[in-house]
Amino acid sequence: LAAASESGGVASYHQVLDQQSLRRLQLGTELEQAMADGQISVVFQPIIDARTSDIVSVETLVRWAHPRFGAIPPDDFIHLAEQIGRIGPLTDHVLDLALARCRRWLDQDIALSVAVNLSARCLSEPDLVERVEQALRRHGVPGELLILELTEGSVVDDSVRSSSVLEDLHTLGLRLSMDDFGTGYSSLSQLRQLPIDEVKIDKSFVLGMSTSQGESFIARSIIELAHNLGLRVVAEGVEDELTRKLLTEMGCDKLQGFLLSRPLPDDKLEKWLLARTGVRSAAPGAQHRRL
Ligand code: C2E
Ligand code: MG
Ligand code: MG
Ligand code: MG
């Protein structure tokens, strides 16, 4: 195995490995400080109702603007944070930013739900439920406005299944969403035994829908089965009109993807919302509007 190095030459596998582990080690030690320095921020991607096109929630996605490496994508540092045992603080940080945003919307009489991704590792942290509850209380956000996105692998894990962590989270009023559905090894019938409210069809299926009948068939099957089990269905990775049309015809409840909006920083999302709703906020004391 060999890979081209940045200088254009070819480095040996071991050299590449060493460079990678060195960078990982460095990122690991920098993560904590990065949070304190404000290098770790979030963007929000709108999720819309497939039938009405109303915005129903936003997914919070973490970003790391590194002073030397530039933008580091979450797929490059979430796993690292898990491995070095810092996923708890990182999750708390993201949850904090998401709930603070949600609170500011509430202050404008806008009740918009926020979704936060939960790493598998988080579900085995004994104080998770307590931390989520405290965060909700600290920001004065009702649990009903929070969605936690879990991955398939994390809920089929025996220790999670046998513990009451999902039930306890549910008791806080929040909704649980099964992310990247179809890529793992859980089945919908397994989900039935858990307090899951919705599934998100993984974008690997959705991205192929406009060109592949096979992918469309998978999406249709997931939607039908999920609905039969009383679960809502979100499709992520909607990039074109044909896919949007197909999914809507199949009865998919919610859509997310670049066609509708890319993940946006706070100020851009504000503009996006404004352009769609045309209203900044309701009169003080007015009933919360469900967007
Ligand atoms: P995810 O939770 O499945 O999030 C959806 C990913 O798909 C996001 O990538 C989003 O930018 C991307 N996406 C959305 N619409 C489209 C589309 O139409 N086409 C394509 N090609 N991609 C689309 P992102 O932001 O790079 O995040 C990647 C993954 O990193 C997330 O996948 C999630 O598993 C993880 N992640 C992100 N933020 C957090 C976080 O705060 N905590 C944890 N534990 N994981 C996070
Ligand atoms: Mg997600
Ligand atoms: Mg996903
Ligand atoms: Mg994903």
Q: pLDDT, tens digit, for every residue of 95-112?
A: 999 999 999 999 999 999
> Who contacts 143 (Cβ-Cβ below 8 Å, separation ≥6)?
136, 172, 173, 174
**In this structure, how many other beta carbons lie within 10 angstroms of the beta carbon of residue 21?**
10
Nearest residue (CA) to ligand 1, atom 10: 263
Please determine, for residue 124, whether its predicted confidence score (pLDDT) is greater than 50. Answer: yes
Q: Residue 94: which of 58, 46, 47, 66 has the closest Cα?
A: 58
State the average pLDDT over residues 68-94.
91
Q: In the structure, what pLDDT confidence band is assigned to residue 5 with cuts at 50, 70 and 90?
A: very low
- Pairing outcome for strands 55-66 and 40-49: antiparallel
State the average pLDDT over residues 177-199.
84
Please determine, for residue 94, whether its predicted confidence score (pLDDT) is greater than 90. Answer: yes
pLDDT number for residue 13: 53
pLDDT number for residue 226: 93
Q: Distance between CA atoms of 213 and 236, rounded to whole angstroms?
A: 18
Q: Is the CB of 62 under 6 A from ligand 1?
A: yes
State the average pLDDT over residues 223-252.
96
pLDDT number for residue 87: 93
pLDDT number for residue 44: 98
Nearest residue (CA) to ligand 1, atom 9: 61
Q: Is the CB of 117 under 6 A from ligand 1?
A: yes
State the average pLDDT over residues 207-236.
94
Q: For this complex, say whether ipTM is above 0.95.
A: yes
Which position has the higher pLDDT, 87 or 285? Answer: 87
> How far from 102 is each of 11, 107, 109, 115, 231, CA to CA, in Å?
47, 9, 10, 10, 24
| Percentage of the chain modeled with pLDDT above 70 | 88
* Residue count (the chain): 291
How far apart are the CA of 285 and the centre of ligand 3, in A?
Answer: 36
Q: Is the CB of 186 under 6 A from ligand 1?
A: no
Chain-wide mean pLDDT for the chain?
87
State the average pLDDT over residues 234-243.
98
pLDDT number for residue 291: 52
pTM: 0.89
pLDDT number for residue 154: 78
Which position has the higher pLDDT, 48 or 9? Answer: 48
pLDDT number for residue 274: 86
Q: Is the CB of 182 under 6 A from ligand 1?
A: no
pLDDT number for residue 12: 59
